[in-house]
């Protein structure tokens, strides 16, 4: 009855049983008795990433960069990359946009080591920032006083300068495209007033960007000036896929144009 | 005694359960490896790079975006973000491509439900089938005490559980090595994360080699399987029908998986065995289902349940009238 096969399996089972017991014991020792059996953290060797010929795009910023409101979830960044791919370019894309990001938070995010490394490798940096700084999630709509706007504006411009300096500290070559603000509240009660504020805001931001030749300010205000509701998502704040497509068209044209100019 | 154990092993091998289990594992494995290969491909396509740092950074940002809209998962995601960030800051690739990484993930995900299910296939009718087939009378008429008979069955069960875990490990190695290659055994893994009150504690974090981590994982998986095996063993004695035992055990396991996701406010649930099956999570550093649970706590709860069910098993079996 006790064939050799069964005897073999039994002995084998016993061995595996011992092996797993050993594993369990090892875990207990490491995790519960607090005597880890390994060396402490040593920094691993840096393996050099082979640079491919692809055009590296890094997208930074708020929900517009993330693509909130776009059914396909691509946002203008995705459409820009699609268009460039259609044009036969090889694209490597990383989207670092975070919903609700404000300029101070972006400046904070850029201090991270890996973000810096990504920016350093970038050929093109796309950015949307400022929407949350100005509109404060719609709060500004009910309180459009000059004093409050000015203080928001000053704080924003200071942070924007920090962000641009941060980019240039790790990458002097890449072209930075900052997309301007549009007024999602055109058709609201205070819309007219706010439009003026947005124009002023955009003007100051573009003035600031003009100091650096490789920093391009891309206006979006005009895209959303008429029939704004056709291009906005149901939240009346973020663009929908049509709105994003319009933004992307503009940016893609600029990038393609720069490429033909012999920059790369 | 050795003869009795071998006798039980002969019965188990004769039932061809191991073959069934091996087939189940292989079928599932081929699906999972294929799915994973596809996923890696699609990520490469989307990001246009093979740089793991870019991929991980993108994952972190994606998680940060999910934070704002994910009420109860907030803490879990926050911990995951911090952990990924730690990997990134220390230049350790959390998913070095290769068979070992696949095995690591596979064990992690199977330990709570899939492995226990496989063990149940063996354990659930180990006694009840003897009764339904009537062979138990032959067994008990032998000049051996009932205690020894049950003990030999239990030992055979533990041995079989070990074999199942071994089958699981070796098969996943073979299949994934074909698919992803054999490299990465010595790759570093960060471990020792612990989370308290939604905060990730990195004071105990250290680097271990992947092979070491995997052996430890298998040790834990084995323990989970033994506990589930023991409980099924008890059910197999208490219940005449194997199907009823299987159903009960299955209900427990599944309710455990569901409960773990929603009991954070029901604190005494932490004494239920099925909520404690996520031993792996302590090692990988995700947040426990209930605040204050630790590896030691879960191990002790499981051990108590195991000893309790053994006690019940032996008392019932030795006193029961067999007819």
B69 CB-near residues (< 8 Å, 6+ apart): none
Q: In what order do the strands lie in the sheet with A91-95?
A: A91-95, A55-61, A124-128, A175-179, A215-218
* Smallest Cα distance from A21 to chain B, Å: 6
B30 HSE (CA, 13 A, CB side)? 5
pLDDT at B190 (0 to 100): 78
The values of phi and psi at residue A144, to 5°, are: -100, 65
pLDDT at B322 (0 to 100): 67
A 37-56 residues with CB below 8 A of B?
Answer: 37-44, 46, 49, 52, 54, 56
Q: What is the mean pLDDT of residues B262-274?
A: 80
| A-B Cβ pairs (cutoff 8 Å, strict) | 156
B176 CB-near residues (< 8 Å, 6+ apart): B29, B33, B99, B102, B103, B106
Q: For residue A31, give the nearest of B3, B158, B283 by CB distance.
A: B283
What are B108-166's pLDDT values in tens digits? 888 888 999 999 888 887 888 888 777 877 877 878 888 888 899 999 999 999 999 99
Percent of chain B residues topping a pLDDT of 70:
95
DSSP labels, A182-206: --TTTTSTTHHHHHHHHHHHHHHHH
pLDDT at A44 (0 to 100): 45
In this structure, are residues A234 and A242 in contact, taking their beta carbons and an 8 Å threshold?
no
B207·A41 Cβ contact <8 A = yes
Give the containing element (helix H, strand E) for A105: helix A103-109
Q: What is the mean pLDDT of residues A107-123?
A: 87
CB of A172 within 8 Å of a chain B CB? The answer is no
Residues in chain B with CB shorter than 8 Å from the CB of A27 are 216, 219-220, 283
Q: What is the mean pLDDT of residues A74-102?
A: 87
Q: For residue B188, give the nearest of A12, A44, A66 by CB distance.
A: A44
Measured between CA atoms, the residue of chain B closest to residue A51 is: B49
Vertex A110 angle, CA B85 and A220, to 5°: 125
The pLDDT of residue B230 is above 90: yes
Q: Which of A9, A117, A118 to mutate to test the interface with B (most CBs of B within 10 A)?
A: A9
- To which residue do tokens 């455990």 refer? B256
pLDDT at A262 (0 to 100): 45
Q: For residue A93, give the nearest of B3, B47, B89 by CB distance.
A: B47
Percent of chain A residues topping a pLDDT of 90:
14
The pLDDT of residue B51 is above 90: no
Please give the mean pLDDT across all residues of chain A.
83
CB of A96 within 8 Å of a chain B CB? The answer is yes
B209 HSE (CA, 13 A, CB side)? 8
Three-state SS letters, A209-229: HCCCCCEEEECCHHHHCCCHH
The pLDDT of residue B26 is above 90: yes
Q: Report the complex ipTM.
A: 0.82
pLDDT at A109 (0 to 100): 87
Q: Which two tokens stand for residue A227?
A: 């029939």
In chain B, DSSP assigns E strands to 188-191, 194-196, 199-201, 206-209
Q: DSSP alpha helices (H): ranges in A33-98?
A: 63-66, 75-86
The pLDDT of residue B1 is above 60: yes
* Smallest Cα distance from A181 to chain B, Å: 21
- Secondary structure of residue A138 in the 3-state scheme: helix
């Amino acid at each position: 009855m006790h064939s050799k096969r069964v005897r073999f399996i039994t002995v084998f089972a016993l061995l595996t049983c011992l092996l797993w017991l050993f594993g369990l014991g090892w875990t207990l020792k490491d995790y519960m008795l607090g005597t880890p059996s390994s060396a402490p953290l040593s920094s691993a060797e840096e393996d050099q990433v082979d640079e491919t010929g692809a055009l590296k795009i890094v997208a930074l910023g708020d929900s517009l960069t993330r693509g909130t409101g776009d059914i396909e979830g691509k946002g203008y960044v995705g459409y820009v990359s699609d268009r460039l791919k259609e044009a036969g370019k090889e694209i490597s894309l990383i989207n670092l946009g975070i919903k609700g990001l404000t300029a101070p938070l972006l400046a904070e995010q850029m201090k991270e080591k890996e973000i810096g490394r990504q920016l350093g490798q970038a050929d093109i940096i796309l950015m949307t920032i400022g929407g949350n700084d100005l509109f404060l999630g719609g709060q500004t709509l009910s309180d459009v006083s000059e004093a409050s706007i000015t203080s928001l504006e000053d704080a924003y411009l200071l942070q924007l300068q920090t962000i641009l300096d941060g980019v240039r500290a790790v990458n002097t070559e890449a072209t930075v495209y900052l997309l301007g603000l549009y007024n999602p509240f055109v058709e609201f009660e205070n819309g007219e007033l706010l439009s003026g504020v947005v124009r002023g805001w955009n003007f100051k931001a573009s003035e600031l960007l003009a100091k650096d030749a490789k920093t391009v300010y891309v206006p979006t205000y005009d895209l959303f000036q008429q029939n704004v509701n056709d291009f906005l998502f149901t939240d009346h704040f973020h663009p929908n896929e049509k709105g994003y497509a319009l933004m992307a068209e503009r940016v893609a044209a600029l990038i393609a144009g720069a490429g033909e100019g012999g920059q790369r | 005694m050795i003869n009795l154990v071998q006798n039980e092993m002969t019965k188990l091998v004769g039932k061809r359960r191991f073959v069934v289990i091996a087939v189940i594992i292989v079928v599932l494995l081929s699906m999972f490896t294929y799915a994973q290969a596809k996923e890696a491909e699609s990520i490469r396509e989307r990001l246009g790079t093979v740089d793991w740092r870019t991929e991980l950074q993108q994952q972190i940002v994606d998680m940060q975006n999910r934070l704002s809209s994910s009420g109860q998962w907030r803490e879990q995601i926050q911990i995951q973000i911090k952990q990924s960030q730690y990997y990134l800051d220390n230049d350790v690739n959390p998913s070095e491509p290769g068979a070992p990484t696949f095995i690591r993930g596979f064990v992690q995900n199977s330990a709570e439900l899939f492995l226990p299910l496989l063990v149940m296939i063996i354990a659930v009718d180990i006694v009840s089938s003897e009764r339904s087939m009537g062979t138990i009378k032959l067994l008990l008429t032998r000049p051996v005490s009932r205690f020894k008979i049950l003990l030999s069955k239990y030992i055979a069960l533990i041995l079989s559980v070990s074999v199942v875990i071994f089958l699981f490990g070796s098969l996943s190695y073979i299949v994934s090595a074909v698919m992803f290659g054999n490299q990465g055994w010595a790759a570093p893994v960060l471990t020792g994360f612990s989370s308290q009150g939604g905060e990730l504690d990195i004071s105990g974090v250290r680097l271990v080699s992947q092979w070491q981590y995997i052996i430890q994982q298998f040790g834990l998986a084995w323990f989970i399987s033994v506990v589930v095996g023991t409980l099924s063993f008890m059910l197999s004695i208490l219940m005449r029908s194997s199907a009823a035992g299987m159903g009960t055990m299955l209900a427990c396991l599944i309710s455990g998986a569901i409960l773990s996701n929603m009991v954070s406010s029901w604190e005494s649930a932490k004494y239920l065995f099925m909520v404690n099956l996520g031993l792996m999570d302590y090692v990988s550093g995700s947040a426990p289902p209930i605040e204050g649970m630790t590896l030691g706590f879960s191990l002790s709860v499981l051990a108590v349940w195991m000893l309790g069910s053994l006690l019940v098993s032996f008392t019932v079996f030795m006193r029961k009238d067999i007819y």
